[in-house]
Amino acid sequence: MIQPVAIHLDEPYLFLDGEWMAESAGIGFRVHSPRCEGIVLAAEREWEAHRVSPICVIEHDGLFKMWYSAIASHPGVDHDLVCPRCYKQNPGIKVVCVDCGWPLVDIDYLQNEMFGTCYAESSDGIQWERPNLGLIDFRGNSRNNLIKGPCGVPAINPKGPPEERFVGIVEYQGNLFLSVSADGLRWTRKSEPCLPFCADTTNQIIYNPDSDTYIALLRGVPGRRTTVWSEFDSLEQIPWPYTEYGHARDETGTRYITDELETVLDIDDEDPALPGLDINHINAHRYGPNTWFGFPALFRKYPPASLDKNGRESSRYFAQGNDGTWETQLAVSRDGHHWNRPDRTAYISPGLFGGVDGGINSIGIGMIHKDDSIYQYGFGQYQTHGVFSPGEMQRIGSIFRYIQEKDRFIAAAADSKGGSFQTHPFKMQGGKLVLNIDCGGLGEGSIEIQDADGTPLKGFTHSDCDRVDLNQLAHTVSWRTKEDLSHLAGQFVRLDIRMQSAKLYALHFSSL
């Protein structure tokens, strides 16, 4: 007998990958993109006059809470400066180096006076309010929604004391630290560093109840941007595990993670062969037991202005250092550690160039579950990544709401020629078999229940199966009108699934 696998179907089993498929033919994986519902927060206040973008959304204490980054305006530096990183001259009024994108204004000023983290809340995930927190003075006025202290990407720590209910990863003086908060609004950086590195954008810490451990997903830079991983049992366990190779800091005092931590997501041979292509960030989310989704932004970097041979210094392709665009794809994982991208189709991609999201856009961290829908929040701006001129351009970026259908991030799919797969054996739990399936108008499917060795069970063959068609979030499978499978409970069985022009997202066994 083929050995059974441990699959628990009282919760929906999402077809992220071929983990449960013993055999398959004509089956591929297809990403299901969400629907954009427009802008929910625009750059409307003085402290967010240049751009707003979501950091994360969390449901907590009966409210939906959003932390988002904001960039205020700045007139720029009105004289020639030599970049402290690449030593290139920057004529005119500039905020960042036109060659490499490094800040030309004082970094402390940039972080404290221009960059801020804001807080908004909502009862429905659609209408968002900016509460007057009164915590930070911004240019003489404390009536704003700026939070106090560095927070990184806020996350709930279910094992922490009340005063450390929220936790995030922040950078300080070339190291990574934990920052903690009781309310998500007032943050305190811990005294001891977690890692002796910089890691830049959207570094996350996530508690994993499946393993009762913490997972950190950080940016690595081994010559390009990647995602690296660390796992530890307790937030008191510092420093986090890493291998020391003694790499020196660069001329700015920066030491990025190169090979000290395991790389878990990187570009590969299935990606386009584009110069400078890398993964800017992943923005990961634990969706449910053994089900993780990541939303990596694949960054297509344009050559810097100094490489333009045709005098096109003002072209969008050569506007600033670190310029380019990206598309957001979908990465999946069963454990938050091993990630893959079964379908390289964009989850979201930039809109029409010149439009509100035509330069770059991305999906933020966190999801709101509302009935049969999932709300996600993303960022879009009409300029490409490296065009950073807060003194010249105002209100270039906004926060958008996206709607995804329940469990429909990726599907096992068959085209019009048809396909099939057989599952590994599993222990039947009884009840009714329910599918999340989209057959469109012309597709259909059928399910056969077999014993553990692959012999069809009498009364549950493909010829017995009643038609599975249409587009349904919860289709109960029947065989000659019979739905009740309780008499099979406790037996080891396998499923043989046939489809044509159909996408199967998930299945589970519901109670009678």
- pLDDT tens for the chain, 512 residues long, are 445 556 667 789 999 999 999 999 999 999 999 999 999 999 989 899 888 999 999 999 999 999 999 988 765 555 667 887 778 777 666 666 766 667 776 656 666 667 899 999 999 999 999 999 999 999 889 999 999 999 999 999 999 999 999 999 999 988 999 999 999 999 999 999 999 999 988 899 999 999 999 999 999 999 889 999 999 999 999 999 999 998 888 877 789 999 999 999 999 999 999 878 999 999 999 999 999 999 999 999 877 554 444 443 444 443 455 778 899 999 999 999 999 999 999 999 999 988 999 989 999 999 999 999 999 999 998 888 765 555 555 678 899 999 999 999 999 999 999 999 999 999 998 899 999 999 999 999 999 999 999 999 999 999 999 999 999 999 999 999 999 999 999 999 999 999 999 999 999 999 87
Q: Identify whether residues 446 and 308 lie together within a single domain.
A: no
| Count of structural domains within the chain | 2
Q: Which of 82, 67, 101 is nearest to 170 (CA)?
A: 67
* Residue type, position 306, single letter: S
Q: Are residues 245 and 306 in the same domain?
A: yes
Q: How far, in whole angstroms, is CA 32 from its chain's centroid? A: 15
* Same structural domain, 82 and 192: yes
- The DSSP bridge partners found for residue 401 are 377
Q: In the chain, what are the helix, strand and coil shares in percent, each to the nearest 5?
A: 5, 40, 55
Boundary residue ending a domain (407, 439, 466): 407
What is the distance between the alpha carbons of residues 458 and 439, in angstroms, rounded to a whole number?
26
Residue 287 lies in a domain: yes
Tell me: do 344 and 204 sit in the same domain: yes
The CATH number assigned to the domain holding 365 equals: 2.115.10.20
Instruction: Clarify whether residues 62 and 17 are in a common domain.
Output: no
Q: What is the CATH number of the domain that holds 440?
A: 2.60.120
First to last CA, the chain: 30
Q: Let me know if 248 is exposed, middle or buried by CB neighbors in 10 A (0-12, 13-18, 19+).
A: exposed
For 132, 429, 434, 494, 509, the CA distances from 20, given in Å and listed in that order, are 50, 17, 17, 10, 16
Residue 5 lies in a domain: no
Task: Indicate the DSSP class of residue 104.
Answer: -
| Residue 246 and residue 188 share a domain | yes
Cβ of 343: how many Cβ atoms within 10 Å?
A: 17
- Asked which of 373, 407, 441 is the last residue of a domain, the reply is 407
Whether residue 379 is found in the same domain as residue 492: no
Is 150 inside a domain boundary?
Answer: yes
430/293 same-domain check: no
Query: Over the range 191-210, which residues count as b (16 or more CB within 10 Å of their CB) and which as e?
Result: eebbbebbbbebbbbbbbee
Q: Are residues 132 and 244 in the same domain?
A: yes
Asked whether the bond before 239 is cis by omega within 30 degrees of 0, the reply is: yes
125 within a domain of the structure (yes/no): yes
In a domain, 464, yes or no: yes
Token output for 359: 């330069």
Residue 168: alpha-carbon gap to chain centroid: 16
The answer to whether residue 6 sits within a structural domain is no
pTM as predicted: 0.90
Q: Is residue 118 a part of any domain in this protein?
A: yes
Whether 337 and 450 map to the same domain: the answer is no
Burial call 61-78: b when 16+ CB within 10 Å, e when fewer? eeebbbbbbbbbbbebbe
467: containing domain? 13-32+411-510
Inside any domain, residue 440: yes
Q: Which of 362, 383, 407 finishes a domain?
A: 407
Residues 25 and 172 occupy one common structural domain:
no
DSSP state of 109: H
My answer on whether 440 and 486 are in the same domain is yes
Torsion of CA 16, 279, 117, 213, to 10 degrees: 50
